[in-house]
Every structure is written in structure tokens, then in C-alpha cells.
Structure 1
Amino acid sequence: MMHQFLTANRKELIARCRAKVAERSPPGVAGEELEHGVTVFLEQVIKTLALERTSDPMRSRKVSGRSGGGKPALSEIGDSAAQHGKELMQHGFTVEEVVHDYGDLCQAITDLAFEQDAAISIDEFRTLNRCLDNAIANAVTEFGYQRDFVVADKQADALNERLGFFAHELRNQLCTATLALSIIKEGSVGLTGATGGVLDRALVGLSNLIDRSLAEVRMTAGMPLQNRLFSVADFLAEVKLSASLEADVRGCKLTVSDVDPLLALDVDRDLLLSAAGNLLQNAFKFSHPHGEISLNAYAVADRVLIDVEDQCGGLPPGDAEKMFIPFTQGADDRSGLGLGLSISRRSIEANLGVLSVRNVPGSGCVFTIDLPRHSVAEVPSTVSPVVD
């Protein structure tokens, strides 16, 4: 009888299963016996088989569950298998390991029965399969639930972290602007003095923070792009208008190149404005006092390149790509969230472009936006023909 065979060979079966688990275990877990794993399941299979040989064989369903499964609370195997699935998730196993864990025992029983020429009936194998089916189903279900819970928890933590950073920066800028405005309203200082400069910097900071956050929301939410064809020259003029104020506030010089009036882009203008604004904001922030920031646009073959060059003094070796990692801040000035460059890269890539950085040792950095080239001549005419 199978339950006698399992009882007599219990230690050997567990040893074989442990050996297989150890081969697949993550570092630090090898050889560890999980509380609700093979040992408990084997005891429950033995108990089920023994009950099925009594005068009331249906009592075994309280241990194994009925064929086709059921709620974990309706069977001992369902309950312990759910606990096992939870433990496997917590110990870093994959969902495949959940299935393998029970499959190992089935294989061990089959191999040992063959080696010992044990007589096991078809009905007993059917009972074993029912136990395995219910155990795997409940373990996998609980494993999936725990995995989804962990993922959701991590996403919530990441969102809370971002919101916390955003609220902190927003509060700082708003408090600065409010304080400067209250001093100006007292009439002891004017708008053109140092206090007026503080107010300007706070308002520019608020504007940049909101623009960057709106771009991130659009990218994270996967909102569709709103592409349209526009002149690069007109775009640079708009960027220059808003960037000039920050250049004055930061005490930097801004130079913008002349651009071929026929050169055009066909992208989401708002996302490009946000990306270019972030690059200029970084340039003003990290350049030396009275440094010169350059904004240049030009065509190379079928591409349009927009360069933002600063005078930060250059980057330490290996720091270029690290700057695009969210919440990374490598400079002494750690105001801000460390998200601007990450959002800028995502915005450009969403428009089928590339954002890269080139280090100029001893001088600064050149950030380059690379986008597909178009021509203003491609804009369809909206003028109706004159009819005599």
C-alpha cells in the first residue's frame, strides 16, 4: 500500500527532494527546509491515503481537498500549500520553483517505487495526483498574490518618495517667494534690488519644477504624443525668451545660435520644451558664476541636433551616464529632485530621438538632443485658392 511505502521511505524521499531544492536555491537559502514545504505535504499525502482505506474514505477530502481544487480553507493541503507559496516568494524563489518543489516529490516517489519494485495501485496514484494538483494550484495562487502585493508596495513607496521630494521642493520655493514678496510689500526694498532677485529665482524655480513634473506625469501615464511640425528657429526663440530670465537670475550669459528658417521638427513640442528647459536649467545651475551658456541648433544629414553647452568645469571620469539615473545628484548643489535629466531623456526618446552628453574636461558639458529632420516646406498650405 502506498501510504505504508511513503511512511517507510519518508527520510529518503525528503532527502532526495532537499537535494533537488538545494541545486536551485538562491544564495543563502540552499538546504533550508521551508516550514510548509515538502515535509508537511508528504505527511498530508500519507494521511490522505490512509483515510481512503477506512470505512469513511471521503474524510480524506478534508486533508487533500476535492478533485478540481477549492478554497484553501477547505483542506489542510490547500492551507499549508498557500503558506508554502508565500514562503517561497519571501525567500526569493520564482513561480517555476513553486511547481518544481512539488514535482520533485512526485518524481522522487516514482523513482523510488520503481527502484524498490513497490506495488502501487492506479487509484493511489490518482490520489497522489489530486493532492499535487491542489497543492500546486494553491501555492501558485498565493505566490502570485504575494508577488503582486510586493510590486504594488514598491510602486507605492516610489510614488510616495517622488511626491515627498516634489512637495519639499515646492514648499521651499514657495516659502522663499512669499518671504521675498512680504519684504518688498513693506516698502523698504524695491523690485529691482537683491530681494527682487530672490523673488525672481523662486518664481523661476517654481515654473521649472511644475514644467518638469507635468512632463513626468505625461511620460509615466503613457499619454499619446501630440506631434506637430514647427520651425526650429521659432522654437529656439521661445526657449530663449524663458531662459533669458533664468540667465539673468543666475548671473550667466546666454547665447543662442541663428538657425536656418526652413529647418523644422515634427515632435511633441511641449515635451521638447520641457527637455530643453531642463537642460538649460541644469546648465545655469552648475556653471561657474558669470559663465556662458550656449544653445545651438543645426542639421547633420537627416537629423537635427540641439546642443546645450555649459561651463560646469567638466565631469569626473565615468559620471556622464550616471547623471541620467533618477534621483542622482553628483554636484555640490543638491537642490532639486535629481529627476530632470532622467525625464528629459525619456521625453526625447518618446519622440524617436536621442539625448546624450559629452564631457569637455576643464570646461563643461555638451548635452545634445538628436531628432529626425524635417522642413518647414512640408507644412500643408491652409490658404484657400482665390477664385475669380
Structure 2
Amino acid sequence: MRRFWRLLKTLPYLGTDGAPLPLNSKRVIIILNSLALLTSFLCFLISTVLWNTAHEIRISGVGYAMALIYLGVPLFNKAGKTNSALLTIFILQSFSAMYYGALLGPAINIEALAVFLCGAALLIIKSSRYKWAAITFVLTVTVILKVIWYGNLVDPLPLSISNNRLVYFFAAGAVLLMNALLLYFYERAVNKSNRELEALVEERTLALDQANRYKTTYLNSLSHDYRTQLNPIYGLAHELVLQAEDEGMPDHIQVSTDVIRALYASSRNMLDMTNVVLDTARIEAGMYDVPQPAPFSVRQWLYQQLDTYQYVSPVPLQLKIAGIPGRIVSDAALLTRILSNLLTNAIKFSRPGGTITITARAASQHFLLEVTDEGKGIPAEELEKVFDLYITGSKPGEGTGLGLPISRKIAETLGGTLTAASETGKGSTFRLSIPMVTDNSLKSQPQQPNEFEHFYGAKVLCVDDDHSNRLLAELQLKRLGCTTAFAASSGEALEKAREVIPDVILLDYYLPEISGMELLDKIRKDTLLRHIPVIFISGNTNTAEIAAARAHGDGFLPKPIMLEQLYHALLPFLSSRLVTESRPL
């Protein structure tokens, strides 16, 4: 007896231990098996009772046959043919509804059976198309039976009143049992969905809490870092103002080289932090930079970067170059952002007395750039985590955990990779690898870092409403050998442009009276000025506005403007005025 009950308990799970085909959910298989076994038992029971009372083979014979066919459903599932099992259930249920409905009339309680079949379709069938097709079929059968009954199209079996009541009792009981089983499975499905939803909500809540903790740490670190870098900028600038006041506010005062280097280092660090924050905002918004490949000298580019960071780094920077062609084709601006983040990271974690080594080499048609520090290193279990946003190996207030993940994203947009290797106590190496395309269009030797090019005689008009920005532009343009003119408003800009007829106009995107774009429209309509190239400058890094500036103007420069960026922006329009001047390092 125990074996029988043990076997009976295992029957609903037939087919769940294999690999079912299209409907591969164990829950669906258990529901199909349970419905088939219950219906088979009810068919056998009702057919036996009605045979003993009515002795009608058309009722009991078909019932016994259906009971046997229902037992085939678990066997279909066992063989992995869940679709066949599902089809068998619905064919038998629909057939029994039509057959017994026509044979016995309203006594079979077709409405309750239709509710059961529609509920089973919603619970079991996954495909929305097949689900509603099954429901439509069930409702159609119900309507047909109603038409048959009320139209007296088929005469039901002439059963006695007691047998009719017995049929109604068993039919109603069978349908109620099947609906009860269906409700049981619905409840299980709802409870399971609730548990899964609760688990998902808990998981997402924990992830959100962790993200909020990371961002809180990030904001604290960012606030600390900004204030740390702002302190010498503000303090030293204030001291210089006081010094000038003590000397009667002359046009020039003597400034220590150490003060200049400190101001430069702090402002450079603030610029790097600002770029990282803006890059993060773009990445989180799903906006990625589109690479703009162009030929450039690798040596010159590397020397420029090291020349910038030698004032920032407290440890020596060593450059090694091996097997690199004179010029390659890639996006130098994106590479600069990667190298800037790697150098900032290496400087942060370098120990006093150590060295930062930058190695550039070629391998298997790839350009490899490695930055190696001699810091504390990164444990192996944390190595890959450094590329996750807001994960930092710094103490609180000593880093944002953004530079490395941003650098990896940029490397991927260039079709390359950024990886890390580290040994605890000895330092870390970050390696950038991108496909290398050699530029052979220029056969001359690559420009050395001690060569400076000037646009002698070139006239540049700078339109900017901020006095400090105009002062900076004047110093930078004079260093590039340009003759300068300035305007603070749109009206003044048009007047100056007609007076000077500049070779290039640097135009602020945002002006107090009208926008830079509106001023550009006026310039383009002026027959005297329409030929002049206009390069937009702006502190806004909105992608749409940058695209508009590049589409309508002749270039775009983001603030703060580096000298080399200004040079490369002017070069396409002033190359005929270039004069090269060599001077010793």
C-alpha cells in the first residue's frame, strides 16, 4: 500500500527531471499531470457510477476511453513532449464538452467547465497568441452548445429524472474539483511570483543602498579633493593680490616659480577631476564619445603629456618608446583622457622615492601604452573591481573611483582594451591596447618636443563676455604668434570684425545679449565677414550643443582651453602662416 501511495505521489512530477521541449517549465508540467490524473480519476468514477445506474454505453464507454487517454499525458511529459501533453488536455476537454453537452444537455454545467478551460489556458499556455486562440475556441464551443440546446438541434438521451440529477451532481462536482485544483495552482503561482518579487525588491534595495553608499563616499571624496586643490589656487592668488596692493598695484609683479607651479598643478588636478565627473555623467546617461581618428605624432603627443604632468607629479616620470612609427591614426583627444586618468592614478598611489614609467610600443599591429607605478599595489581579488564605478582603493577623501572605469569605456570605444596587473607591495601596471593604423602620408621626421610653431601675422578675434577668459586667450594667442582683438558683446564683435577682418573668430557659445549661434548667423549674412572661419568656445559639454556648434561653425573648443588644443583648432585655417622656431630645452 505504501508503494502505491509513493507511486501516486510521484506521478504529478513525471517529466520534471528531464529536459522538456518548448514548454520547459516544471510548474507547467506538474499542472498538466495533476489535471490529467484528476480528470482521469473523475472520468473513471463517473462512468462507473452512471453505468451502474443508467447502463448507457454512450456515456460510460466514452468516459472509460477518455480516462485511459488522460493517463497518457504524464507519459508525454516523461518523454519530453510537453506540447503534445498540453494539446491532449485541451482536445479531450473540448471534445468532452461538445460530446457530453450534446448528449446530456444543460446537465453537464458547460458554463463552469468553460471557466475552468479558460483559466487553465491563462495559467498554462505561455504564448499570448495560442492562449487567446484556446480561450476563443472554448467560448465558441460554449456558444455552439447553447445554440444546440435552445434550438433543439440534437435530442439529448432520455434519462430518468434521478439519473439526470446524478449526471448534474457529478458534472458539477467534477468541474468544481478541477476549478479548485486550478485555483490551488494559481495561488502557488501568485505566491511564487510574490516571493520572487520580494527577493528582487530586496536585492535591488540592497544594490541601491550600496550604490548610495558609494555615491556618498564619492561626493565626500570629490568635495575633499576639490577643496584641497582649490585651497592653494585661492590662497596663492589672494597672496599675489595682497603683494600687488603692497607694491601699489603696478602692471607687473615678481612671482616665485614655486607659486606658479603650485597654481598650475592644483588647477590641472581640478581640471582632471572635472573631466572625470563630466565623463561619468555622460556614461551614466548612455552617451559615449564617437572616435574621430586623425594622424598625429605619438612622440610629440607623449612629450606634451609628460611636460604637463612633470609639474604635478612629486616623483620622476620616465618615458620609454620602442618600435612606434612616427605617426599613427587614432583619436588623440580620447587617448589623452585615458593617459591623463592613468597618470593621475599612478601619481596618487606612488611612494616617495619611486618612479612612474610610461612605456609606448608596438606589438601585433597594436599600439600598447603602459603606465607603471611603484606604489602599494592592488590585491589580486580586488584587481578587476577597480574598473567598477565608484570603487576606489583610496582612503576616504583621496579619490572618486571614476577614472579607471571611464578609461576602460573610452578604450572600448576605440576598439581596444584596458587591463591591470599588480603585485602587492611592488606597484601596478595599467596597459592600454588599441589597433594601430600607421600614417605614411607625411614622410618627414616626427616633430620633436623642442620645436614650436607660430602663426606669425595671423589675426584672431576672440568674442567672450568674461574678462578673465579674454585675458587667458590673449596670452595663449600671443604665445602662438597671433595678433589679437577682443569683444565682450555681439554688437562690439560685429564692429571689431568689420574693422579688423580677422583670419579666425573664436566665439563664445553663450553671450549675454544673443546666443553665439545667432551671432554666427549675422556673421554669415555679412558679405564682408561670411568667409571667416568661426570656432565656438564653451564651458558647456552638452553633446547636442557641441554637435550643433560643429555642424554650423568651423570647430569647437571646450573650456578650459589648453594651448595645444587651441593650436590644433587654428591649424587648419592658419597653416599657411606657420613659422617653425627651434629653441633648446
Per the TM superposition, whether the score is higher than 0.5 is yes
Q: CA deviation at 1:153?
A: 7.1
How many residues of Structure 1 are paired with residues of Structure 2 in the alignment?
A: 288
Question: What are the residue-to-residue correspondences of 1:1-388 with 2, within 5 Å?
Answer: 101=27, 104-116=30-42, 117-119=44-46, 121-122=96-97, 123=110, 125-134=113-122, 164-184=216-236, 185-186=238-239, 202-220=266-284, 221-223=286-288, 225-231=290-296, 232-247=298-313, 251-258=314-321, 262-330=325-393, 335-359=398-422, 363-377=426-440
Q: CA deviation at 1:293?
A: 1.1
Q: Could you tell me the TM-score, scaled by structure 1's length?
A: 0.58
Q: Which residue of 1 aligns with 2:77?
A: none
> 1: CA distance between counterparts of 2:429 and 2:435?
19
- Aligned partner letter, 1:128: F
Q: CA deviation at 1:228?
A: 0.7
Residue deviations 1:305-335 (CA, integer Å, cap 9, x gap):
1111111154445554343344333455761
Whichever of the two has the greater Rg, that structure is 2
> 2: CA distance between counterparts of 1:261 and 1:315?
30
Deviates more, 1:112-121 or 1:222-231: 112-121
Q: Could you tell me the TM-score, scaled by structure 2's length?
A: 0.40
> 2: CA distance between counterparts of 1:200 and 1:274?
18
Q: CA deviation at 1:127?
A: 2.4
Q: CA deviation at 1:156?
A: 6.8
Residue deviations 1:198-220 (CA, integer Å, cap 9, x gap):
76554333222222233334444
Q: Residue 255 and residue 107 in structure 1: after superposition, are their counterparts in 2 closer, same or farther (change >3 A)?
A: same
- Secondary structure at the counterpart of residue 225 of structure 1: coil
> 1: CA distance between counterparts of 2:211 and 2:330?
28
- Aligned partner letter, 1:243: Y
Q: Residue 239 and residue 208 in structure 1: after superposition, are their counterparts in 2 closer, same or farther (change >3 A)?
A: same
Q: Is the 8 A contact 1:229 1:264 kept in 2?
A: no
Q: CA deviation at 1:281?
A: 1.0
> 2: CA distance between counterparts of 1:354 and 1:345?
7
> 2: CA distance between counterparts of 1:263 and 1:104?
70
Q: Quote the sequence identity (%).
A: 20
- Aligned partner letter, 1:215: D
Q: Residue 317 and residue 104 in structure 1: after superposition, are their counterparts in 2 closer, same or farther (change >3 A)?
A: closer
Q: CA deviation at 1:194?
A: 8.5
> 2: CA distance between counterparts of 1:340 and 1:194?
28
Q: Is the 8 A contact 2:291 2:414 kept in 1?
A: no
Q: CA deviation at 1:160?
A: 5.3
Residue deviations 1:110-149 (CA, integer Å, cap 9, x gap):
2222145255742455321212344578989x969969x9
Residue deviations 1:81-100 (CA, integer Å, cap 9, x gap):
xxxxxxxxxxxxxxx99x76
Residue deviations 1:216-253 (CA, integer Å, cap 9, x gap):
34444143522313322233133223322321xxx111
- Secondary structure at the counterpart of residue 337 of structure 1: coil
Mind listing any 5+ residue stretches in structure 1 that lack a counterpart? 1-11, 25-95, 383-388
Q: Residue 217 and residue 175 in structure 1: after superposition, are their counterparts in 2 closer, same or farther (change >3 A)?
A: closer
Q: Residue 346 and residue 223 in structure 1: after superposition, are their counterparts in 2 closer, same or farther (change >3 A)?
A: closer
Q: CA deviation at 1:377?
A: 1.4
State the superposition RMSD in angstroms. 4.6
Residue deviations 1:141-170 (CA, integer Å, cap 9, x gap):
x969969x9598788767756654554333
Q: CA deviation at 1:344?
A: 1.8
Q: Residue 317 and residue 277 in structure 1: after superposition, are their counterparts in 2 closer, same or farther (change >3 A)?
A: same
Q: Residue 309 and residue 294 in structure 1: after superposition, are their counterparts in 2 closer, same or farther (change >3 A)?
A: same
Q: Is the 8 A contact 1:302 1:372 kept in 2?
A: yes
Q: Is the 8 A contact 1:180 1:198 kept in 2?
A: yes
Q: Is the 8 A contact 1:219 1:347 kept in 2?
A: no
Q: Is the 8 A contact 1:262 1:377 kept in 2?
A: no
> 1: CA distance between counterparts of 2:26 and 2:273?
50
Q: Which residue of 2 aligns with 1:74?
A: none
> 2: CA distance between counterparts of 1:268 and 1:245?
25
> 1: CA distance between counterparts of 2:216 and 2:260?
28
> 1: CA distance between counterparts of 2:292 and 2:261?
37
Q: Residue 195 and residue 112 in structure 1: after superposition, are their counterparts in 2 closer, same or farther (change >3 A)?
A: farther
Q: CA deviation at 1:349?
A: 2.3
- Aligned partner letter, 2:311: L
- Secondary structure at the counterpart of residue 173 of structure 1: helix
> 1: CA distance between counterparts of 2:395 and 2:225?
19
Q: Residue 163 and residue 266 in structure 1: after superposition, are their counterparts in 2 closer, same or farther (change >3 A)?
A: farther
Mind listing any 5+ residue stretches in structure 2 that lack a counterpart? 18-22, 47-92, 98-109, 129-185, 244-253, 443-571, 573-585
For CA contacts below 8 A with separation 6 or more, give which structure has more relative contact order.
1
- Aligned partner letter, 1:229: A
> 1: CA distance between counterparts of 2:116 and 2:29?
11
Q: Is the 8 A contact 2:329 2:439 kept in 1?
A: no
